[in-house]
Structures are given as C-alpha cells and as structure tokens.
Structure 1
Amino acid sequence: MKAIRELAVAETKACFRKQQPIADIDIQLGETPIELEHVIPQRAQALFSKERCRAIGALFTFATDDPAEQCKRRSEAISAVAALSLRQEWRVPQVCRPKEEIHRASDKGQDTESETRSKANLVKFSFECLPTQCIFCLGQENLLLELRTKEFHSRSDLKKHFHRKHLRHYSDGLPIECPHPLCDETLSHKMHLQNHAATIHKTLT
C-alpha cells in the first residue's frame, strides 16, 4: 500500500509540474479569466474579510482593449480599496499553550473568539463613553469586546488614534454619521462630529 501511495503522489506531482506552467502562462496572456481562487486558495478565503477579498479580486485583473471596460475596472478597484481602508482589522496575537491547558480551558467553558463577538452584541453600551474611549471602535461590531471598549492611556493617545485610524478616511465638509452604537445623529462635517463626541458622548477627540 505504501508503494502504491508513493507512486500516486509521484504521478500527481509530475502532472502538476507539466500542466501548471501552461495554465499560468494562459492566465498571464489573458486567455483564461483570472479568478479569486488563482490569487487566494478557496480554503484561505475564509480567513479574509469580504472587503479584502473584493480588493484583491479587483486589483488582480487584466487590462482590456475596451476603454469603457477599462474605466469600469479602474473604478471598481478604487472603490474596493476605499472600502478596505475604512475597515479596521485588529491583529490579535496568538499565545501558544500546551494541549493540556487548552483542554482544561475548554472543560471550564471558556469563551471562544466567536462567542466573545456574539456576546459583544448583547452588551448594553452607555450613551456617555469613558473619557478615553473611541466612539468609532465602540460602533464596530466585528471587533472583540475588549477592543471595542478599550480605554487609551491618555486623551492624547485617544486623539492620535481617532484621527489616524478613523477620521482621516472621511472627506472634509461632507456629512458624517455618528459611529456610536446608540446614536443615530448625522453631523454636517468632521469638526461637528468632534464637538458632538465631546458634548454628547463625553469623549474629547
């Protein structure tokens, strides 16, 4: 059985080495339409957000001879990258633990990451934030609860985060909705949002 299995693996590798270069050349020449699976394997797509998959799919496309199609392709790429820039993705460090500890934690009923996210949606947030909380982070339901309710070390740190991570993605002079999960106010511009955050939500940004 071992010899048959090794022979089958060798034949599969030989077939791949023979056919894959031709398929790659066809894709580069534009004879085969490029699909998202060619850039990101199907199993890996589950690890990417829909905004990131959309951006990758829009950027990894071939130029066409039709000016209208080329303009449409560029517009989609710009829109996809703009949508991705508005999404804040946090990197949660993974801590390696022995298998025994993992099993003990599961036996104790410790929450998984998905359960933590679902519980975050059930939390009753206060209309008035703590002085060093970010109203944008509070409004992002895809974040873990501890990231949504994070308190910064100082007001200065909050202001830097507020402008670098969130406010700079919005155009000057255009209306902006308050991102707080309990607020549905639409403010006339970015400065109005900052005043609203200070007077209504008690956080200085």
Structure 2
Amino acid sequence: MSSISSGELHGGVTAKRLKSLGEQIGYPESVTRYWLRRLVLNAVDGFGSEEVRNQVAGHLDSRTYRTNYQDQRINLDVASLVSGHDGEDALIRKLNDVGTNADPNANVALPLETLEQIAALPDVVSLRVEQRRLAELLRRKYGSISRALASDDSLTTYLGVKRAHRTRKEFCKARMRSQLRRDFFARKNAALIEAQLDSKDVRRTLRTEQNSSTPSIPERAALASLIGAKDMRSVSMRAHRAAAIQAMEDLCCRVELRRKAEKPGNNPLGVSAENLTRSNQERSISMKCHCLQCLFCLGDERLNWKDRTRIFSQQYTLGRHVEHHINAIKAGAKMNCPHLICMAQGLIVNNVEHLKNHACREHGIRLQTY
C-alpha cells in the first residue's frame, strides 16, 4: 500500500485500510467506517439545514443527530484522504492528529517465545503437518511443486491447506498483537495516573516505554549482544570492538538493495579490477557455503562477484529465487553441480533431487522451493 489510487474504496477495503492506518499510528481504538460517517456529517455541519443534516445522517429525529454526531467532531476529513493521491506515510502523518493518546510505540513486535507458542498450537501444527505431507506427495509425483498440473486435485488441496495454515497463523499473531497493544496502553495509563498523583513530569512518563527493535537476523543479534550497555572505549573491550566491527560488516553484507550500474573507468586496457581479481576470489571459495547463498548464481560467470556471492535475508527469499533456476531445468536431465569446485572436478548429478541432496550435504545450502 505504498500509494493509493484516486478511485473510490468500497466495502472491506476501506475498513481494512483504516484499521491498518490506525494501528500504525498507535491509536488505541480501531478506526472503523463509523468514523467516515461522522466526518461526512462534520463536512455538512454549519452549511446545510437541519433537515439536510438529518437526511445525510439517516435519522428523522434532530435530537439523534445532535446527541450522536454534532458534539463529536474529529476535524479530519478521512474520506478525502483515502480517495486522494497521498501515500501511506502522508496519511499517517495527517492521521497522527486524530487522537492525543496515539502512540506508535504501541506497535510492539511479537517476541520469539510468542511466535513459538503460536507455531505449537494444535490446529497450527495439524495444518503444518498436512501441508508438508501434501507437499512431499507432489514432490514425489512431479519432482517439484511448481511442475504440478493445475488440474491435479492434490495441488488444489495443497494450496487450500497452505492458505489455511497461513491464515490461522496470521489470525493468532493479530490476536496477540492486539493483546500487546491493550497491555501497552493499560501500563501507559497507569503510569500517567501515578505520575499525576505524585506530581511528577508527565512528559517524561510518556517517554518511558520505547519501541525496542527485535533482531531478525543472526548478525544483528550478534551485534546487539556485543555492544549491549558496556563501554566500548575501554582498553579491555578491544576484542569486543573488533568483533563488533566484523559483525557490522557481516550485517551490511546481508542488506539487499538495487545496485546502480557501475560506470566504466578510464582503463586503457579495457580490463576491470573485478576481472583482474576474479581468479583469486574463485580460489577463496570453499566447499561449505553460507546457508543463504544461491548455488546457481555462484557458478554463473556472467554475474559480477558481488551478485554471485550475495547472501539472501531469509530462507523464503532464497527459495523463491532458486525456484526460477530450477524451473529452467528439464525434468530428469543430468547437469553439472554449479559450485566452482564441483565444476572444476566435473561432478555430474542425475536430476534436480540429486542436486538438492548434494547441495545440502556437501555445500550446506538448502535448495528448497515454495
């Protein structure tokens, strides 16, 4: 939802978008379509007659309008916002004025323990087991799920179970996030009341709860554990400083960004520095690779060295990338292992499944597709 079209939003799309925006700005209550109704009435308030306002509100009694709408002004035209050209960030900035008690720190990431509890729920486990069983059945039948026929009932059942498994997990996560938000505002309100009773600085109390970042990849977690609350300037922390620098370098290597095309340098021989060092770089490759490297890209000499040795952020991203390579291979065809050492030795695998087993056993890479 990086941008919003100028077309009118209908039904559940409006409700979902308003709810999402309300959660991101940290509003304690859900933003619903009831807000739109009140805001339309705010737009006609003071301009139309009482009969017109009653007609817009859908009420015949003027007291109903005055009691339920006239005294509940929000002073923000959400209806025009969601149908305009503003992006999501602009909407969030404007919606920040909706409530004085909105706090983005309420969006606390689910801890690892909670995610493990959700994954261990009986209904989630049963769906996951059934999904794996159907996936294995399709792999034995077609060699890969992506090669399965669309008319196969097993594929339809697998996709339905996969969708149900993902939906159930997201439902449990949303429920836990809602509970964390309620707990956040309960603690915040209690702290504000206590500060007011003790005549303390309320603004300082508002900053007591900060949104802590949860490390999502090993390098970031290692860097956080090395830095911690220690003084890195002391002489005794020299080893920690070196390890922290190495962790930062590893972390930077994990960032996936679109690289700009490199401009050719003024090399009279027409030989780039990358080509001059390619042989040395290839000799530095070992049999065991990083578990999130692409084995096919590693052996593709058409790519530059950075693209050949890049490390993906997670196994799912690697799997979606590897799927394009595997789809280009004919079923049952023999091939060379793309790894540089195996290619130099002339190692040939019998089929895709043989390549997957070889890559996992010899190179430490799971060529798993999704």
TM range (shorter): 0.3 to 0.5
Q: If the length of structure 2 is used for normalisation, what is the TM-score?
A: 0.25
Q: Which has the higher contact order (CA 8 A, sep 6+)?
A: 1
Structure number with greater Rg is: 2
| TM-score (ref. length: structure 1) | 0.45
